[in-house]
Amino acid sequence: MKKLLLLVVGLVLLLSLAVFAGDNDKVVATVNGEEITKDDVLYEVSLYPLDRKEWAFSEEGLSQILDNIIERKLLVKEARVLSLDTVDAVKRDIARAREDILIKHLLSPKVQAALAGISEDKLRAYYDENDTLFIEPEKVHVHYIVTDSLELAKEIYKKLKEGESFESLARKHSISSERDRGGDAGYLTKDMFRDKNLADTAFSLKLGEISDIITSDGLHYIMKVTDKIPSYKPDFDDIKDNLSRKVAADLQNKVVNDYKSELRKKAKISIDNSVLYSIQPKTLKPVEPTEK
């Protein structure tokens, strides 16, 4: 968290120096007479994530960003030549985009203010108070042999008891997707088994022990367990970054949802469900651009 805060502060200072340098209105390029200023480029740089900022300020990055601006202006110019900005569907899209931008700038300060309150102490308290959210369930490393013939399953079981390799018999006879891996299904928790009886059997086996034949949904299973990982709670430091992201996402959703609920309570809203539910799907006509 501290490292992230330092990065943010450093970035803000860097951008502030650029913004207040006094020459942001200097023209970087022109496209058909339309000017592109340093400020235009800096705005595009500000949209890049933190881990791309260093590249964005490099000569390669700045050149690429400028090329993107130039190409966007060429495309916008062509769209206007075709009068796309006068088409009703396009105007609706533009209006919707404008609304989205307004909403973003309305909610962003509220979210940022809430996120600023997330400290490592609060994360640790959340970690300590919510054990059940972080407990990793017990797992067993399972190997399967699956057949649709009980007689074949009995033959395989006999060969296993005589010492033949589980892996080679799985490759030869099993019809499961783990066949090519010698029956190796990997580490499974109890809720990952398709059948409770299979789960109970797997978790009761000793390491290296071969199970009896278990029948489920017309298939016959023979299992072997080669490893067990007991249930445990990961150390705070091991999950701190993921926890920070989760808490931030949860807090953001709460702030936004609470604010929307507050606005709904203040508003006078009337809904005519008879009109709403009368809306039916229809074929949309493609937008037809018109030349000026």
pLDDT in tens, 230-273: 999 999 999 999 999 999 999 999 999 999 999 999 999 999 99
What is the pLDDT confidence band of residue 13, given thresholds at 50, 70 and 90? Answer: very low
- As a whole number of angstroms, the distance between CA 10 and CA 95 comes to 35
pLDDT-based confidence at residue 288 (cuts at 50, 70, 90): low
pLDDT in tens, 70-105: 999 999 999 999 999 999 999 999 999 999 999 999
Residues with Cβ within 8 Å of 86's Cβ and at least 6 positions away in sequence, in order, are 290
User: What pLDDT does 252 receive?
Assistant: 95
Q: Tell me: the pLDDT tens digits for 219-232?
A: 999 999 999 999 99
Q: Residue 289 pLDDT more than 60?
A: no
Using CA atoms, how far apart are residues 157 and 146, in angstroms rounded to an integer? 11
The residues with which 188 forms a beta bridge, in sequence order, are 140
Res 2 pLDDT > 70: no
What is the rounded CA–CA span in Å between residue 217 and residue 285? 50
Average pLDDT of 274-285? 79
Position 282 scores a pLDDT of 73
Cβ burial of 183 (10 Å; 0-12, 13-18, 19+) is buried
Q: Average pLDDT in the 34-47 region? A: 94
Q: What is the pLDDT of residue 287?
A: 56
Q: What pLDDT score was predicted for residue 7?
A: 46
Task: Indicate whether this model's pTM tops 0.75.
Answer: no
Judge contact between 180 and 171, C-beta under 8 A.
yes
Average pLDDT, the chain: 89
Residue 111 has pLDDT above 60, yes or no: yes
Distance CA 124, CA 239 (A): 10
Confidence of residue 176 (pLDDT cuts 50, 70, 90): very high
The answer to whether the Cα torsion of 147, 152, 158, 160 is positive or negative is negative
Domains (ranges, CATH) in the chain? 2-86 (no CATH), 136-229 (3.10.50.40)
Per-residue pLDDT for 38 more than 80?
A: yes
d(CA 41, CA 92): 28
For 144-160, what is the mean pLDDT? 96
Q: Is 236 helix (H, G, I), strand (E, B) or coil?
A: helix
Q: Which residues, 6 or more positions from 27, have their beta carbon under 8 angstroms from its beta carbon?
A: 35, 36, 37
Per-residue confidence (pLDDT) for residue 25, from 0 to 100: 86
Strands 34-37, 139-147: parallel, antiparallel or unpaired by DSSP?
unpaired
In 3D space, the residue among 137, 136, 135, 121 whose CA is nearest the CA of residue 247 turns out to be 121
Helix 120-129, helix 236-266: angle, nearest 10? 90
In the chain, DSSP assigns E strands to: 27-31, 34-37, 139-147, 184-188, 214-216, 219-229
Buried b (16+ CB within 10 A) or exposed e, 252-268: beebeeeeeeeeeeeee
* Gap between the Cα atoms of 57 and 207, Å rounded: 57
Residue 50 has a pLDDT of 87
The first and second tokens of residue 118, run together, are 């997330």
What average pLDDT does range 191-219 have in this prediction?
Answer: 95
In this structure, are residues 81 and 90 in contact, taking their beta carbons and an 8 Å threshold?
no
Across the range 18-35, mean pLDDT stands at 80
Q: Which residue has the higher pLDDT, 47 or 289?
A: 47
